[in-house]
Amino acid sequence: MVSENNIKIRQANIYDWDEAIALAWRTFLRFEAKDYGQEGVDSFRDFLSDSLLRRMFLMGDYPVFIALDGDKQTGMISLRNKKHISLLFVEEGHHHRGIGRRLIESMERYIRREYQEERITVNAAPYAVGFYHQIGFEDVAPQLSKDGIIYTPMEKRIY
């Protein structure tokens, strides 16, 4: 069993990228892919493998934070457009341990410090809507679908 106290959160570096993206893909396939048709699965895979995304990360325009249990990545979160959670994934064996919440809190502190934004947004996958509601996000529109990806636009005030 993993204790929340053993988990360290830090900003990702160039050496963390491949594992963070692999973690996102594995977790998506395990928990979210069933909510999408083939178009949605293909769209998500294409997003993760887009070289522009990696270049944005390398240039500092796509911040990523990772959760570590020792040397093993157990979660990841990424940000685009200074206030939008782009990806949030936690390894299967680490769910319900506070890791997702801690990743979001780390990103909120980063957003306030770096961009002075007062809100954080996310397009929540069906699997994650309940989690986001529990930590203070509110729906800003009904569930939508684009390129086979189903999501609910949400936001949270972060003061």
Report the pLDDT averaged over residues 120-129: 97
pLDDT in the model for residue 159: 82
pLDDT, average across residues 79-98: 96
User: What is the dihedral angle through the alpha carbons of 26, 31, 33, 35, rounded to the nearest 10 degrees?
Assistant: -170
Read off the pTM.
Answer: 0.94
Tell me, what's the pLDDT at 91? 97
Q: Name the band, by pLDDT with cuts 50, 70 and 90, for residue 129.
A: very high
pLDDT at position 65 is: 98
Annotated domain spans of the chain: 4-117
Q: Does domain 4-117 have CATH number 3.40.190.10?
A: no
Write down the mean pLDDT value for the chain: 95
- At 25, which helix (H) or strand (E)? helix 17-27
Q: What percent of the chain has pLDDT over 90?
A: 96
Q: Is the CA virtual torsion 47, 50, 54, 59 positive or negative?
A: negative
For residues 156 and 137, the answer to whether their CB atoms sit within 8 Å is: yes
Q: Which two tokens stand for residue 111?
A: 């957003």
